[in-house]
A and B are shown apart, each in its own frame.
Chain A
Amino acid sequence: MNSWSAIRAELKDAPAKARRTAWEGGLMVTLIIGTGVWDLLGGSGMEGGDLLRWATLVVGTVGLALFTVSDGLHRAGRARNQGRDLPPAERFRTGLLRSTYLVLPKLALVATALLAFSAGVMLVVAMSHFPSWFATAAFGVYGIRAGRTVLGTARELYGEVRSQAEAAHRARSAASEARLLALQARMNPHFLFNALNTVASLVRTSPRTAERTVESLAAVLRQTLLRSEKIWGSVAEEVAYIEAYLDVERERWGERLDVRLEVEPAALRAFLPPMSLQPLVENALEHGPGARIEGGTITVSVGLEGTELVAEVADDGPGMSPDASEGTGLGNLRERLSTLYGDAATMTVESDRTGTTVRLRLPAEPPAEFPGSGRPTRTSLEASCAS
């Protein structure tokens, strides 16, 4: 990013408020220079060679000019950013860039303001001279404003850095919580032991089917252990995971389970947190086919809608009560999504006595500030899709 052209571009579309600041500053500079010239021409009755007074005037004027320019830029930049929804990392970066133009002149101005104020007070006490007093007041006001801006910017920067660190920490602990949960209760011991019971039975009646079921079960376990350590995974991987999961479940349920899987090819390349669809499928099994003696149907559909990835798991069971949506891992999923995406991800539950649909809406592009392990770079994206 060429900072100079960026500054020029911003000066061009600086809104009215920033322009006014620039005018204000310009006026002050003129008045102060005017004071100096007036003094030079002897209008104040003071000696032109007063070093302290000249030094104060020069440093103060230069500092004020710099402050005005950078303050205008800062306001222009902030106004531009307010219109857009920049992710925190970018806001941080662009803010920092502008801040370097601000910090030095502001510090100079604060020092000058203090200097001028004390010099001015002495002069006023000594001479009660109007132009000096005026210049002093101007410096004083700008000094206060400079001080406030410096403090404000510092606070803002600190806040940004902290919230970024907090968010990354939350994402990491959400990921490790997911891993823990996946390995223990979330792996769902019911799934595991019922699967083993089924295989123990199939071993006698149909050894080939037993073998196949063991392979699917191994795939599920392996994926659970590997993928729960990562913050991101591809839709293709998640779909493969739930297919293996459902292969195992089909052997248990027999005809009582009917599964429809509809995944748009374009969606396969999108990314989402691992184990996002699995809790939905588990939930649907419990409240759908698991709630009717004759069983039922589960429909899983994944697709892209504009810039969003939409995943829906529906069942034709007798419905689900609202507080049940916090159990069976849905609550944990909701929290993980909120940590990773903020408000950009939603999970909605529609349920009545003819069935339930749980829908996830996620941005198709994962947010920039959660690198984490497994986050796709351009090359890894291509590599994983080629396999």
Chain B
Amino acid sequence: MRILIVDDEPAARRRLSFILEELDEEVVGEAADGLEALELIRERAPDVVLLDIRMPEVDGFDVVRHLPEDGPLVIFQTAFEDHALEAFEHDVVDYVVKPVGLERLDAALGRARRRLEAGTSAGLSAGDLQRLRAAVRLSPTIRPRLLVRQGRGFRLIPYEEILRFSTDRGTTTAHGIERDFLTDHTLAELEERTGSTFLRVSRSDLVNRERVERLVPESGGGATVILGDGSRVRVTRRRRAGVMAALED
């Protein structure tokens, strides 16, 4: 089987490659972060990905969420997850704990091989991922950059370069300075990841506070914010007070 190693720690990657060599498995590459992982998955089409959960900016769950339909099987790696491991056991995904022993890794790879041969897909729904993320208690840290699709690949864009987000029929668009991007994240997730830099002005819009030129209140109770690039975004009545207060700072 063709295996991709993904872990942000160099020593951890090295150890896995030693053990895989001892198991006589083929390592097609090593990725030090989630973006590199997605790129290598696209380029080298591994069968199995040994995926670290806790990584900066693009974590293990972010990677799984952006995998193609016919993508590789994922085996999560984790140092310690307390009761959360039970959540993994019910799912279409496997896990190993760090430091992983040779026999344990061999057993997990054996299960993966059987599933590949049987043709069962690796599909984890967004809901499954949400649940695993919550079970693992991966705290929502603020991120500096956003993972977006560009062509058939991916890019990391600093949040400062995004003026606003908008959703339409389930799709979220990131409006950058020069062009727009599609992102798989919901506005709620983006709100968490951007902290106080972005303001939720309505159910479908999230605006970069630093790009707001001015706010024009309307007689109906709502308002309109006007951004640096001239775009106008509606603020709902319910959110107007909060938005105005946040803009005061």
Q: Which residues of A contact B (CB under 8 A)?
A: 185, 189-190, 192-194, 196-198, 200-202, 204-205, 251-254, 256, 286-287, 289-293, 295, 317-321, 324, 327-328, 353
In Å, the complex CA distance between A25 and B8 comes to: 82
Residues of B9-57 at the interface with A, using a CB-CB cut-off of 8 Å, are: 9-12, 14-15, 18, 32-33, 35, 54, 56-57
In terms of DSSP, what is the predominant structure of the interface of chain A? helix
| Chain A residue, CB-CB nearest to B197 | A353
Q: Is the CB of B9 within 8 A of A327?
A: no
A292 CA to B144 CA in the complex, in Å? 7
Report if A254-B15 is in contact (Cβ < 8 Å); known contacts: A287-B141, A291-B56, A293-B57.
Answer: no
Residues in A neighbouring B56, C-beta threshold 8 A? 289-293, 295
Task: Tell whether A190 pairs with B79 under 8 Å between CB atoms, given A204-B18, A252-B9.
Answer: yes
Cα distance A20–B99 in the bound complex, in angstroms: 79
A321 touches B57 (CB 8 A): no
The answer to whether A193 and B98 touch (CB under 8 A), given A201-B12, A286-B141, A292-B144, is yes
Give chain A nearest CB distance to B246 CB in angstroms: 13
User: Once the chains bind, are B142 and A353 in contact (CB under 8 Å)?
Assistant: yes
CB-contact partner of B141 in A190, A254, A291, under 8 A = A291
Q: Which residue of chain A has the shortest Cβ distance to B55 in the bound complex? A: A293
Known: A291-B141, A353-B144. A190 touches B14 (CB 8 A): no
Given known pairs A193-B80, A293-B56, the reply for A318 and B9 (CB within 8 Å) is no
Flag if B144 contacts A318 (CB, 8 Å): yes
B33, A353: Cβ atoms closer than 8 Å? no
Q: How far is the CB of B177 from chain A (nearest CB, A)?
A: 17
- CB pair B142 A197 closer than 8 Å: no
Asked whether B98 lies within 8 Å of A194 as measured between CB atoms, the reply is yes
11 A-B pairs within 8 Å (CB atoms) are namely A185-B82, A196-B99, A201-B12, A252-B9, A254-B11, A256-B8, A290-B141, A291-B56, A291-B143, A293-B56, A353-B159
Partner of B35, one of A197, A253, A293: A293
Task: Provide the residues of chain A in CB contact with B32, threshold 8 Å.
Answer: 293
One of B9, B12, B82, B142 near A321 (C-beta < 8 A)? B142
Q: Report whether A291 and B99 are in contact in the complex, using a CB–CB cutoff of 8 Å.
A: no
- Asked if residues A201 and B142 are in contact (CB atoms below 8 Å), the reply is no
- Contact A193 to B141, CB < 8 A, known contacts A204-B18, A321-B195, A321-B196: no
Does B219 reach chain A (CB closer than 8 Å)? no
Considering the chains assembled together, what is the distance between the CA atoms of A201 and B98 in angstroms? 11
A197 & B139 in contact (Cβ 8 Å cutoff):
no
Is there contact, CB below 8 Å, between A194 and B18? no
